[in-house]
Structure 1
Amino acid sequence: MESNKLDTDVGDKCNLNGDCSSPPKKQSFNMNHAKNIDDISTPSELKFDQEFNFEDPDISEKRRQIEKCLADPDAVNLEEWQNLAKSKGGLISDDYRKTIWPLLVGVTKEEMTEPPSLDDLSTHPEYNQVVLDVNRSLKRFPPGIPYEQRVALQDQLTVLILRVIIMYPHLKYYQGYHDVAITLLLVCGDVSSFPLLCRLSHGPKAPLAPFMQTTMQPTQHLLNYMLPVLAKADQGLADCLEKAQVGTMFALPWYLTWFGHSLNRYTDVVRLYDYFLCAPPLFPVYVTAAIVVYRGDEVRACECDMAMLHCLLSRLPDDLPFEDILVTAKKLYEENDPIDLEPEVAALERREEVTRRLEEERLKRRQAALRARNNPSLTARLQRRLQRYLPPGVSRRALLATATVLLGVYVYYRPDLLFNRKYHESVREL
């Protein structure tokens, strides 16, 4: 089984840790092959829960409500669990999430089976890649845990991921999947997190399923919905991004990992997961648009340059008010149904395809012209033809220079004729 990787080795990169050199040109990024997601943005080191002496009275009341529901979970329907997860403060505590997260996606007790050992899975084709990614995810583990516990957690994460892709061999592992898996594992443990991750990865409405296809094109298509949503919310801001040709690549790690790769605060990550687990599959894209809207003043104050804006947007501040952002995203979703946006997304992708083809054609012409200038046989042929029309006494050097320039111009504008001629000549020689 081959994995989806994000190929960004087509120019300078903008790294969240401070390397803000120019990102790749828009659409030069190939969604069908992927490198490590760290090449797009470096994972932040998570800051875990801190104890506070004061709690918002509303949250205290909600805590009592959740505990009452957990005391008799059979009397609580799915809509009530969803309302608790979406409303202010989310599910508050991982002690509550451990039980409620599986309920939000319909996991049953029968699905919660003991995992196999890591040795039993070590022959899987994806084993080495998964281990490599897990080893890179140490910043997402609780800080200060003993070495033995950390190693055990790494092994559990590797087993969790391999179990899912063994269960569904048609799914392609993508680098960034482990960021989602580690969040589920930290909250729910190795028994409950497996069926939970399965529900998120497989099925017609599974939110992670588009990321696990043969290519990443479905992911890019869904992420493109961010742009018309942004335009509906703030046309001037959308025009600013379009003018700078920023595209959507800055938000790709957010979407692929449900922000688990990019946020510093663990409490922010699990709060978003509370909401995403019971929201429509495309809702994280609307959260992305809401974040850009919230940071609109920063965007307008930034120089209208692709590299500068990409660098700015890629960095998620630690103090984002996610409760407000989720309210904005909900409003954007209610006002802009994805079905209604399909024509705009299709038109956007057609324009991007035309731009991509024109860029490829320009590159093809430049390469053909360069090859032609370095092809002595073609130059000599054109030089002989020029001798018929130029007046006597023209020097050989001038004739050669003229032939070279004319051939370069000809091939630049009509490379197809040159290539077709070479093809027919090769066929005649067979």
Structure 2
Amino acid sequence: MESNVSSEITSGDEEVSSFLLNDDSSNDIKSDLLGDGISYEENEDTRSELKFDAALETEEEKQKRYQIEEALNNSDTDLEMWKKLALDQYGLVNDDLRRKVWPLLLCVDPDTSEKAPLLAELANHSEYNQVVLDVNRSLKRFPPGIPYKQRLALQDQLTVLILRVIMKYPHLRYYQGYHDVAITFLLVVGETVSFRIMERLSTDHLRECMEPTMEKTSYRLNYLYAILQREDKELHEILDRSMVGTMFALPWYLTWFGHSLTQYRDVVRLYDYFLASPPLMPLYVAASLVIDRRQEVFDIDCDMASIHCLLSQIPDNLDFECILQRASNIYKKYPPAKLEKDVKNRVQKEIEQRRRDELRIRRRLDRNKPVWMKMHHYLPDWLLLHYRNKYGLLFATATLLVGLYAYLKATETGFSIFKQGSWHI
């Protein structure tokens, strides 16, 4: 390659501290850039140049950083200590520390010498096109002002990272939003270690999300209401009455909020917390976040559209340290095992309500059907086997009526003969 990518990063690029999500407007693709004479190499190390967290540290954050650095220099630091440091206020403080501690939290090999396969080697995978499409949609998850060459390398690395995991574990299914999780680790620890982290998470924390159907994921989202029912009954009643459901929280759970937050510092702080927490903790954070916005919920109309619109958009000014502390307290009071009965009851009620709704709709539709369609329900299946359209049903009905008439006529004739004494058994 003509020059290392690091030489092309300007000081301004190194100081960015926030990013925007979900910008579908960018159509820069590899072919366009190659047409402009820009070259790049796959497996290019872009990790060290992605400086989101150059904001000045507060005095409290400095003290936390010193504590983490001291723990890194102490060979006796155990997993419980790493979890405590990640959970406590300010988390792991900056990406340089996260790069060292995140692998320790998941007990994965931090060695970066392993080489990933080239993108061309994975292009025949059945999920390739969908993964590329999602990666292209998430361009604004990359550092603002990133040079073309480095961005292309990152896009390819992200695509390779995702495909490597689902190829190694064929029973796992890629879902839209998985790339939001993967890119966060890629930006912080690089492609080699991020593969090991995603491999571990995909077979543990995210495993249910990667099943062939979303049945278990939908079930898990009901924990949100079970938590609110215990912690804030008034808020639970409002949400339940509005019938807003759980869809507003689905991207939160699937992406660990990476898809929904606009501040990079908030995203990586939450990832510190989730890596040190049990798998269902994102649901407790979701409940805590909704509680944090309870007054906003009370101030708007109690209807599905209004509340869904409000909750699905997360403001930039939330105090996530407060939200995380509340989530930890709620988890201690109401661990998942304690809520399981409430969740099952809610799911069963939803199933019963859905059946009633379907029956009501079916009856309403039946009332509006023409007579020939209503008769369909009273005709035997064998008669309808070859008559699946309007005129076929009419013909079948006429045939049945003619047969009935013939039967009655024959019966009437027989009865007349019997009365005349001409009937012989």
**TM bin (shorter chain):** 0.7 to 0.9
Which residue of the partner structure matches residue 338 of structure 2? 340
Larger C-alpha radius of gyration, 1 or 2? 2
Aligned-partner SS, 1:247: coil
Encode CA deviations 1:364-396: one digit per residue, 9 max, x unaligned: 3334444435x4xx6xxxxxxxxxxxxxxxxxx
Is the CA contact (8 Å cut-off) linking 2:53 and 2:265 kept in structure 1?
no
Which residue of the partner structure matches residue 353 of structure 1? 351
Which residue of the partner structure matches residue 316 of structure 1? 314
Deviation at 1:362, TM superposition (A): 2.5
Is the CA contact (8 Å cut-off) linking 1:133 and 1:178 kept in structure 2?
yes
- Amino acid of the structure 2 residue aligned with 1:283: M
Deviation at 1:116, TM superposition (A): 0.3
- Amino acid of the structure 1 residue aligned with 2:192: V
Pairing partner for 1:43 from 12, 22, 43: 22
Distance in 1, matches of 2:215 and 2:100, equals: 35
Encode CA deviations 1:243-280: one digit per residue, 9 max, x unaligned: 11111111111110000000000000000000100101
Which residue of the partner structure matches residue 100 of structure 1? 101
Encode CA deviations 1:376-423: one digit per residue, 9 max, x unaligned: xx6xxxxxxxxxxxxxxxxxxxxxxxxxxxxxxxx5xxxxx8436252
Aligned-partner SS, 2:370: helix
Which residue of the partner structure matches residue 331 of structure 1? 329
- Amino acid of the structure 1 residue aligned with 2:267: V
Distance in 2, matches of 1:260 and 1:428, equals: 55
Pairing partner for 1:254 from 252, 255, 262: 252
Distance in 1, matches of 2:355 and 2:107, equals: 45
Matches within 5 A, 1:186-197: 186-197=187-198
Which residue of the partner structure matches residue 167 of structure 1? 168
1:58 matched to 2:53: no
After TM superposition, the structure 1 stretch with the greater mean CA deviation from structure 2, 267-276 or 55-64, is: 55-64
Deviation at 1:101, TM superposition (A): 0.6
- Amino acid of the structure 1 residue aligned with 2:381: Y
Distance in 1, matches of 2:370 and 2:189, equals: 63
- Amino acid of the structure 1 residue aligned with 2:230: K
Is the CA contact (8 Å cut-off) linking 2:261 and 2:267 kept in structure 1?
yes
- Amino acid of the structure 2 residue aligned with 1:162: L
Aligned-partner SS, 1:316: coil
Matches within 5 A, 1:50-89: 51-53=54-56, 55-72=57-74, 74-89=75-90
Encode CA deviations 1:203-246: one digit per residue, 9 max, x unaligned: xxx11111000100100111110101011111001001111111
Which residue of the partner structure matches residue 265 of structure 1? 263
Matches within 5 A, 1:177-188: 177-188=178-189
- Amino acid of the structure 2 residue aligned with 1:323: E
Matches within 5 A, 1:142-161: 142-161=143-162
Distance in 2, matches of 1:230 and 1:109, equals: 39
Distance in 2, matches of 1:236 and 1:79, equals: 37
Residues 1:166 and 1:356: Cα distance change in structure 2 (over 3 Å) = same
In structure 2, the gaps of 5 or more residues are 1-20, 25-49, 388-395, 397-425
Deviation at 1:52, TM superposition (A): 4.1
Residues 1:44 and 1:292: Cα distance change in structure 2 (over 3 Å) = farther
Residues 1:322 and 1:139: Cα distance change in structure 2 (over 3 Å) = same
Is the CA contact (8 Å cut-off) linking 2:223 and 2:339 kept in structure 1?
yes
Is the CA contact (8 Å cut-off) linking 2:53 and 2:94 kept in structure 1?
no
Residues 1:363 and 1:111: Cα distance change in structure 2 (over 3 Å) = farther
In structure 1, the gaps of 5 or more residues are 1-41, 379-410, 412-416
Distance in 2, matches of 1:338 and 1:92, equals: 29
Deviation at 1:99, TM superposition (A): 1.4
- Normalised by the length of structure 1, the TM-score is 0.76
Is the CA contact (8 Å cut-off) linking 2:274 and 2:282 kept in structure 1?
yes
Aligned-partner SS, 1:75: coil
Residues 1:209 and 1:135: Cα distance change in structure 2 (over 3 Å) = same
Q: What's the % identity of the aligned pairs?
A: 49
- Amino acid of the structure 2 residue aligned with 1:70: L
Matches within 5 A, 1:234-249: 234-249=232-247
Matches within 5 A, 1:3-42: none
- Amino acid of the structure 2 residue aligned with 1:135: N
Which residue of the partner structure matches residue 302 of structure 1? 300
Which residue of the partner structure matches residue 406 of structure 1? none
- Amino acid of the structure 2 residue aligned with 1:157: L
